[in-house]
């Protein structure tokens, strides 16, 4: 019996020791920290997922701005075609107002500018020099030159594309012969040289950048008429040339009106004048004040406007031998009493 009791006690002690080594639940929850013994094997890692640490050489091979591990072979991305077209050579729109340069002879060789005058994508240098002793002006485009004799002043140069079909820009060279007689000569480059084209009277640019031709006349006093010109031969757009006309404010202002009469802008009729109004025969009464608005290129017809706003046409005869203008058989100075001639 004693042996049986001893055996039961030994089993109880062994069972008690085994329970003491086992982790216990706290408040019904298991401990979240796993117990790892020295004999616990490391979890297996799939060899296919193992990534070796990058070497110094491989890190240096990573282009700046890239992240991640370098690939075995860097394949450049294909270059995609750009939607932006290739830039074309600069071709200025010179149809209306390209650029206008006034060149005074005192400036001599210091005056120059650049422009792609032959549309080859390169800028040519346009310059000017003056031979004062012989009164010869020279226009140069790079090494090519064109001379203008009997030129006391190269007034200005205008660049304009007169004909879009030609592969060049036209130079309009305006010279003063010394007697207020201006000539405009068209010059353009061709095969490395400068070619002289048409010649016209004074041509300039108005405030809107349009080419304007000016012509002087002594019809009803010294006047300067203008009209627009265009095309390869600078053809006028009208048979009529407009002249300066006073404003309504000046006509109403006493002092301004007096000045207009003194300089011959506002004319005073000394006698009745035959005319046409709205296409019908009429007369302008003696004592009427009027001013010229335009004249025909033939110098045989004048458009005038009276102070009350009536527009009339007056026929004019010209005597080439006497160099005079006649209205109704009378010299114009006997029809108007304040015709003014410039020196």
Three-state SS string across 51-116, please?
CCCCCHHHHHCCCCCCCCCCCCCCCCCCCCCCCCCCCCCCCCCCCCCCEEECCCHHHHHHCEEEEC
- Series of mean pLDDT values for 10-residue runs along the chain (343 residues): 56 54 44 37 49 41 36 48 46 40 49 80 84 83 88 77 85 77 89 91 81 90 92 91 95 94 95 96 96 95 95 90 85 93 79
Q: Which two tokens stand for residue 281?
A: 């025969």
Q: What does DSSP assign to residue 150?
A: S
Residues 251 and 205 in one domain: no
Residue 22 pLDDT: 47
Q: Is 318 helix (H, G, I), strand (E, B) or coil?
A: strand
In a domain? residue 225: no
User: Which residues fall within 8 angstroms of residue 110, CB to CB, at 6 or more apart?
Assistant: none
Residue 76 pLDDT: 46
In a domain? residue 311: yes
Residue 56 pLDDT: 37
Residues 174 and 104 in one domain: yes
Q: Structure pTM? A: 0.64
Residue 37 pLDDT: 35
Domain boundary among 161, 191, 209: 209
Residues 202 and 304 in one domain: no
In contact, 238 and 225? CB cutoff 8 Å = no
- Other C-beta atoms within 10 Å of 229: how many? 20
In the beta sheet, which residues pair with residue 171?
Answer: 159, 187
Q: Is 134 helix (H, G, I), strand (E, B) or coil?
A: coil
In a domain? residue 170: yes
Residues 159 and 201 in one domain: yes
In contact, 139 and 171? CB cutoff 8 Å = yes
In a domain? residue 27: no
Residue 238 pLDDT: 94
Our count of domains for the chain comes to 2
Q: Which two tokens stand for residue 253?
A: 């202002």
Residues 180 and 250 in one domain: no
Residue 224 pLDDT: 92
Cα 320 versus chain centre, distance: 46
Q: What is the extent of the structural domain holding 247?
A: 241-334
Domain boundary among 189, 209, 229: 209
Q: Which two tokens stand for residue 152?
A: 């006391």
In a domain? residue 285: yes
Residues 123 and 192 in one domain: yes
Residues 292 and 205 in one domain: no
Residues 103 and 201 in one domain: yes
In a domain? residue 282: yes
Residues 191 and 262 in one domain: no
Residues 117 and 200 in one domain: yes
In the beta sheet, which residues pair with residue 315?
Answer: 301
In a domain? residue 145: yes
Residues 197 and 135 in one domain: yes
Q: Is 280 helix (H, G, I), strand (E, B) or coil?
A: strand
Q: Which two tokens stand for residue 175?
A: 């010279």
CA distances from 162 to 40, 79, 172, 188, 192 (A): 98, 44, 10, 11, 20
Residues 107 and 200 in one domain: yes
In contact, 186 and 148? CB cutoff 8 Å = no
Residue 285 pLDDT: 96
Residue 293 pLDDT: 97
In a domain? residue 64: no
Write the CATH number for 153: 2.40.128
Domain boundary among 160, 189, 209: 209
């Amino acid at each position: 019996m004693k042996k049986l009791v001893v055996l039961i006690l030994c089993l109880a002690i062994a069972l008690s020791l085994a329970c003491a080594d086992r982790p216990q639940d706290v408040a019904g929850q298991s401990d979240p920290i796993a117990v790892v013994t020295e004999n616990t094997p490391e979890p297996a890692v799939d060899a296919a997922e193992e990534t070796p640490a990058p070497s110094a050489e491989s890190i240096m091979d990573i282009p700046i701005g890239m992240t991640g591990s370098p690939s075995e072979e860097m394949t450049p991305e294909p270059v995609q075609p750009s939607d932006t077209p290739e830039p074309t050579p600069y071709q200025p729109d010179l149809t209306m107002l390209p650029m206008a340069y006034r060149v005074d002879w005192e400036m001599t060789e210091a005056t120059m500018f650049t422009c792609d005058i032959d549309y080859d994508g390169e800028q040519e240098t346009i310059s000017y020099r003056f031979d004062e002793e012989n009164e010869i002006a020279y226009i140069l485009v790079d090494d090519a030159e064109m001379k203008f004799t009997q030129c006391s002043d190269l007034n200005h140069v205008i660049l304009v594309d007169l004909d879009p079909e030609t592969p060049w820009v036209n130079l309009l060279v305006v010279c003063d012969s010394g007697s207020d007689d201006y000539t405009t000569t068209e010059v353009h480059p061709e095969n490395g040289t400068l070619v002289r084209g048409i010649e016209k009277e004074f041509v300039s640019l108005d405030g809107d950048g349009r080419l304007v031709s000016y012509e002087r006349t002594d019809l009803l006093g010294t006047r300067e008429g203008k009209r627009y010109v265009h095309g390869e031969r600078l053809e006028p757009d009208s048979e009529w040339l407009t002249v300066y006309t006073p404003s309504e404010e000046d006509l109403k202002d006493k002092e301004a009106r007096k000045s207009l009469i003194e300089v011959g802008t506002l004319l005073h009729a000394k006698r009745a004048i035959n005319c046409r109004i709205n296409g019908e025969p009429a007369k302008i009464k003696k004592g009427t004040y009027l001013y010229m608005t335009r004249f025909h290129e033939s110098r045989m017809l004048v458009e005038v406007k009276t102070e009350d706003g009536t527009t009339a046409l007056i026929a004019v005869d010209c005597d080439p031998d006497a160099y005079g203008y006649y209205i109704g058989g009378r010299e114009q100075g006997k029809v108007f009493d304040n015709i003014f001639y410039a020196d």
